[in-house]
């Protein structure tokens, strides 16, 4: 099969069943994967997913994988992924009124503007507790955890809880620099945990920038413990369940 990318034609053959199920890595991603991280579609990344005993979140999240619509909408794109993946009652889509679906364009339709509004979020993003309060607008249970309040062991257990059931999913708020990436504060869903490598799979919603990657729990732990300049508190993890 031939695929065209900005770098020309690439010939792809002999896909395994797993490869056909994996989320495609954008051929136009601008930034290389740091050596400390493992890309999902690399041989090692695929092996981790196959070997993982904690990957129930991956399947629904991969079906509803989003690309954030602007540079500050990572929290919105991540939330839309999780809400659709959880299968809770969906709102009518303003652009397609015959269908129901959570979208980035309609995300704030029923959110109290005092909590967040699209114009401000498009410039500043959302803090941990701000997103937690916004998510309470929807028919889900929201469980925020500040990184500064967690030990490495308790953080690891939270990650496992967030990926071992399709009925409970995890959103990570972290500093990209502390996982060797370019950028600052960011949100993305966590889709799996691999015990032998002690790593977690991040489904990066800035898909034009980085593909899904495995990051060590230790590095991700430090990244969620970093201080958010807006809230002056640490970043962290939100568990969302139906």
Spot the catalytic one: 74, 145, 194, 228: 74
3-state SS class at 220: helix
Distance, in Å, from the CA atom of 201 to the CA atom of 220, rounded to the nearest integer, reads 10
Q: Is 194 a catalytic residue?
A: no
> Helices 217-224 & 152-163, crossing angle to 10 degrees?
100
Report helix, strand or coil for 123: helix
CA distance 190 to 188: 7
Three-state DSSP class for residue 72:
coil
Alpha helical stretches, state H, the chain: 17-21, 43-51, 58-63, 74-86, 118-124, 128-135, 152-163, 217-224
Partners of 185 in beta bridges:
175
Closest by alpha carbon to 134, among 108, 158, 155?
108
Is-catalytic flag, 204? yes
219 is catalytic: no
Catalytic residue among 145, 194, 204, 228: 204
Distance CA 195, CA 48 (A): 9
Query: In this structure, how many other beta carbons lie within 10 angstroms of the beta carbon of residue 5?
Result: 11
Q: Active-site residues: which are they?
A: 74, 186, 204
């Amino acid at each position: 099969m031939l695929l065209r990318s900005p770098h020309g034609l690439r010939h792809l053959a002999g896909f395994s069943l797993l490869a056909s199920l994996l989320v495609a890595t954008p051929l136009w991603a601008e930034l290389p994967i740091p050596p400390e991280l493992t890309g999902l579609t690399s041989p090692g990344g695929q092996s981790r997913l196959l070997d993982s005993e904690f990957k129930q979140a991956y399947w629904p999240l991969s079906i509803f994988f989003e690309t954030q619509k602007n540079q500050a909408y990572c929290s919105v794109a991540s939330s839309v992924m999780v809400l659709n993946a959880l299968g809770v009652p969906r709102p009518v889509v303003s652009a397609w009124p015959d269908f129901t679906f959570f979208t980035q364009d309609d995300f704030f339709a029923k959110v109290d503007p005092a909590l967040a509004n699209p114009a401000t979020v498009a410039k500043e993003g959302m803090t941990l507790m701000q997103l937690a309060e916004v998510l309470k607008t929807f028919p889900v249970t929201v469980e925020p955890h500040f990184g500064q309040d967690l030990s490495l062991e308790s953080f690891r257990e939270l990650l496992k809880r967030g990926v071992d059931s399709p009925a409970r999913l995890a959103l990570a708020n972290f500093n990209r620099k502390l996982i060797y990436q370019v950028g600052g504060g960011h949100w993305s869903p966590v889709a799996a945990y691999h015990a032998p490598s002690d790593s977690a799979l991040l489904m990066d919603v800035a898909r034009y920038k980085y593909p899904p990657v495995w990051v060590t729990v230790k590095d991700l732990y430090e990244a969620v413990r970093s201080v958010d300049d807006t809230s002056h508190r640490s970043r962290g993890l939100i568990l969302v369940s139906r």
